[in-house]
Amino acid sequence: MTVPSQERGPETWVDLHGDYLFRYALLRLRDEAAAEEVVQETLLAGLQSYARFGGQSSERTWLVSILKHKITDHFRRRSKLAVFDSLDGLPSEPDDVFMHDGDWIDHFDAQRGPLDWGDNPALTLEQTEFRQALARCLSSLPERMAAAFTLRELEELSSEEICKVLQVSPTNLWVLLHRARAQLRLCIETRWFRQPH
């Protein structure tokens, strides 16, 4: 396979791929300084192993694959700093959407329970504004929940891998994911489906 003509080596990386890599990292790390840091790590690692880059993929694809590792490393470092496995201090699921009277029929509060998202919510996913709203919701999650959700749903790592990276037990990972999903669901419903736009 030939190297596409726009591949012009490391000097061009910041201009050609800088914004792309930065956005990729920012969405996942939710912090500009941290995103810049992993992008820099990626570019330097890319430079070091450039000799081994055979051009089987585009430079961008290759750099993104390095970036993915750097992002996982970032979460690994964070999980060593903060004890991720403890669920203490973590906001519980937004359970005010449930009724407290224990009645089995009305246990989802009719006012706050899941709203009908319309006939074809899949179409909504095509809208840029919707995706931006979802990214904002993701950035409002507590760190551990966001890390679990990001690694699982954006990076598509397996549960086993995430447990190793975040140093959590499978049971606690399920709790993290459940709470992250519950909170994201509520956030996107509040900010998108209940709002006129």
Partner 1 sequence: MEMKLLTWLAEKTGAWVAQNPQGWKAALVFALARKLPHCKQVAPLMSQAMERPLSWRQWVQVKLHLVVCLMCVRYQKQLWLLREAALKIATSSEDASLPRLSPEARERLKRALDAQEH
Radius of gyration of the chain (CA): 20
Q: Which residue lies nearer to partner 1 by CB, 32 or 80? A: 32
Least separation in angstroms between CB 161 and partner 1: 12
Q: Which of 73, 96, 140, 174 binds partner 1 (CB under 8 A)?
A: 174
Asked if residue 177 lies in contact with residue 148, where contact means CB atoms within 8 angstroms, the answer is yes
> Site mask, partner 1, residues 129-148, x = CB under 8 A?
-xxx-xx--x----------
Q: Which residue lies nearer to partner 1 by CB, 27 or 167? A: 27
Nearest to 163 by CA among 155, 154, 153, 152: 152
Nearest to 43 by CA among 73, 12, 72: 12
CA 23 to mean position of chain CA atoms: 12
Burial of 71 (0-12, 13-18, 19+ CB in 10 A): buried
Q: By CB under 8 A, which span of 51-59, 72-80, 82-90, 173-181 interacts with partner 1?
A: 173-181
Q: By CB under 8 A, which span of 5-13, 51-59, 75-83, 139-147 interacts with partner 1?
A: 5-13
Asked if residue 112 lies in contact with residue 103, where contact means CB atoms within 8 angstroms, the answer is no
> Site mask, partner 1, residues 61-100, x = CB under 8 A?
--------------------------------x-x--x--
CA atoms within 13 A of residue 106's CA, in its CB half-sphere: 7
98 φ, ψ (degrees, to nearest 5): -95, 150
> Total binding residues for partner 1 by CB under 8 A?
64
Query: Residue numbers of the site for partner 1 (CB under 8 A)?
Result: 10-11, 13-15, 18-24, 26-27, 32, 36, 39-40, 43-44, 47-48, 93, 95, 98, 102, 104-108, 113-117, 121-122, 125, 128, 130-132, 134-135, 138, 149, 152-156, 159, 173-175, 177-178, 181-182, 184-185, 188-189
